[in-house]
């Protein structure tokens, strides 16, 4: 009698647990857009109707890294082996712009679709869940994380390290990981130096901290541009958008703009173009 009286209760508990358990992942069909943003809080890939990017030809002063990333992406899109890529270096020199421009360039060359998926740095712990979903997609995906870096006691880099290379599953062959960072080893120098000074075995401690960047087969460095390269960026934007400007006046104003900003970069050049176009009442259509 006691067992029979417990049966309805056990059944209700089993049903409640079944309702609470996570649903198995559904097969994805990424047909709505060519780019998506990953939202880890609800395991959702949100389609991006219009990607914020510039034409590949407008990215000046980075010819070598452009050609390297373009070749790697073309091989990946063709189903050939390709490396994860870390784009590191000076601010405003087009690291994230290059990733998006290369994706658009290669996507326009191939018959099969190449999907760009952006994951925010704070959502890196959910990366295994995202890779599980992308593994079921019948297309190749560039997984992109902008401004990737780690500070203090952040142990997220350990999970990322296992996912990129070395874990039991690793990343699917249909996914490649591109990241941008101002730091070559994704961590500030003072953090690495602190590990060296306080660890029992300094060499091993530093190896642990910098080993994540070793998971990227491509290290593409971006350095501060020269004045000639900066002016070439400005002239490229002027020609592309058809902005009426006298060469001498344009040169003088562009140099003055960079001096007031205390820097020369692709971002500074674009900010000058926005100011110039606004003064001349020229619309900038980036589509």
55 domain residue, yes or no: yes
Do 174 and 250 lie in a common domain?
Answer: no
Q: Higher confidence at residue 156 or residue 173?
A: 173
Instruction: Give the pLDDT confidence of 181-224 residue by residue, as tens digits.
Output: 887 766 654 544 444 444 444 444 445 556 667 778 899 999 98
28 domain residue, yes or no: no
In angstroms, the CA 94 to CA 87 distance is: 10
pLDDT of the residue at 112: 66
Residue 35 makes CB contacts below 8 A (sequence gap 6+) with 47, 48, 51, 103, 115, 116, 117, 118
Mean pLDDT (whole number) for 159-171: 67
- Domain of 44, CATH number, reads 3.40.50.300
Radius of gyration of the chain (CA): 24
Do 162 and 246 lie in a common domain?
Answer: no
Residue 177 pLDDT > 90:
yes
Residue 225 pLDDT > 70:
yes
Do 43 and 171 lie in a common domain?
Answer: yes
Residue 171 pLDDT > 90:
no
Do 149 and 243 lie in a common domain?
Answer: no
Do 116 and 192 lie in a common domain?
Answer: yes
Do 232 and 195 lie in a common domain?
Answer: no
In angstroms, the CA 89 to CA 183 distance is: 6
Residue 149: which pLDDT band, with cuts at 50, 70 and 90?
Answer: confident
Contact assessment for residue 222 and residue 87, using Cβ atoms and an 8 Å cutoff: yes
Do 174 and 243 lie in a common domain?
Answer: no
Mean pLDDT of the chain, nearest integer: 83
Which of 85, 98, 101, 199 shows the shortest CA–CA distance to 148? Answer: 85
Q: Which of 204, 222, 240 finishes a domain?
A: 222
Instruction: Give the pLDDT confidence of 63-99 residue by residue, as tens digits.
Output: 999 999 999 999 999 999 999 999 998 888 999 999 9
pLDDT of the residue at 258: 95
The whole domain housing 166 covers 35-222
Instruction: Give the pLDDT confidence of 96-137 residue by residue, as tens digits.
Output: 999 999 999 999 898 768 999 999 988 888 888 898 888 888
238 domain residue, yes or no: yes
pLDDT of the residue at 201: 45
Do 137 and 253 lie in a common domain?
Answer: no
pLDDT of the residue at 210: 61
Backbone angles phi, psi at 177, to 5 degrees: -110, 120
Structure tokens at 261: 């900003």
Do 98 and 199 lie in a common domain?
Answer: yes
10 domain residue, yes or no: no
Residue 145 pLDDT > 70:
yes
Element counts in the chain: helices (H) and strands (E): 10, 7
Do 197 and 273 lie in a common domain?
Answer: no
Residue 138 pLDDT > 70:
yes
Whose tokens are 């460095």? That residue is 221
Residue 262 sits at the vertex; the CA angle it makes with 261 and 263, to the nearest 5 degrees, is 90
Do 175 and 118 lie in a common domain?
Answer: yes
Residue 27: which pLDDT band, with cuts at 50, 70 and 90?
Answer: low
Distance of CA 76 to the CA centre of its chain: 16
Dihedral sign for Cα 129, 213, 105, 54, please.
positive
State how far the alpha carbon of 76 is from the alpha carbons of 38, 71, 176, 240, in Å.
Answer: 21, 9, 8, 30
151 domain residue, yes or no: yes
In the chain, the number of structural domains is 2
pLDDT of the residue at 204: 47
Strands 44-47 and 140-145 come out as unpaired
Residue 167 pLDDT > 60:
no
| Number of neighbouring beta carbons within 10 Å of residue 196 | 13
In sequence order, the β-bridge partners of residue 117 are: 36, 143
The model carries a pTM of: 0.79
Q: In the chain, which ranges are E strands?
A: 35-39, 44-47, 85-89, 114-118, 140-145, 175-181, 218-222
Do 272 and 192 lie in a common domain?
Answer: no
Mean pLDDT (whole number) for 137-166: 77
């Amino acid at each position: 009698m006691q067992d029979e009286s417990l049966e309805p209760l056990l059944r209700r508990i089993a049903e409640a647990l079944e309702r609470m358990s996570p649903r198995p992942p559904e097969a994805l069909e990424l047909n709505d857009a060519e780019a998506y943003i990953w939202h880890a809080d609800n395991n959702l890939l949100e389609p991006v109707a219009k990607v914020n990017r510039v034409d590949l030809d407008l990215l000046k002063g980075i010819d070598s890294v452009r050609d390297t990333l373009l070749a790697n992406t073309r091989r990946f899109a063709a189903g050939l082996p390709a490396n994860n890529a870390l784009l590191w270096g000076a601010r405003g020199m087009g690291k994230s712009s290059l990733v998006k421009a290369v994706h658009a360039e290669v996507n326009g060359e191939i018959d099969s679709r190449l999907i760009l998926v952006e994951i925010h740095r704070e959502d890196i712990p959910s990366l295994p869940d995202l890779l599980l979903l992308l593994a079921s997609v019948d297309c190749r995906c560039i997984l992109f994380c902008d401004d990737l870096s780690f500070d203090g006691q952040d142990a997220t880099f350990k999970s990322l390290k296992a996912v990129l290379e070395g874990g039991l599953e690793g990343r699917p062959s249909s996914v490649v990981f591109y990241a941008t960072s101002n730091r070559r080893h994704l961590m500030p120098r003072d953090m690495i130096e602190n590990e060296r000074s306080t660890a029992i075995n300094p060499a091993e401690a530093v190896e642990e901290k910098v080993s994540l960047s070793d998971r990227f087969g491509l290290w593409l460095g971006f350095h501060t541009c020269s004045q000639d390269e900066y002016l070439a960026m400005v002239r490229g934007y002027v020609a592309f958008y058809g902005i009426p400007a006298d060469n001498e006046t344009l040169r003088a104003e562009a140099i003055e703009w960079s001096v007031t900003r205390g820097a020369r970069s692709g971002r500074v050049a674009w900010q000058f173009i926005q100011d110039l176009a606004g003064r001349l009442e020229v619309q900038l259509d980036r589509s």
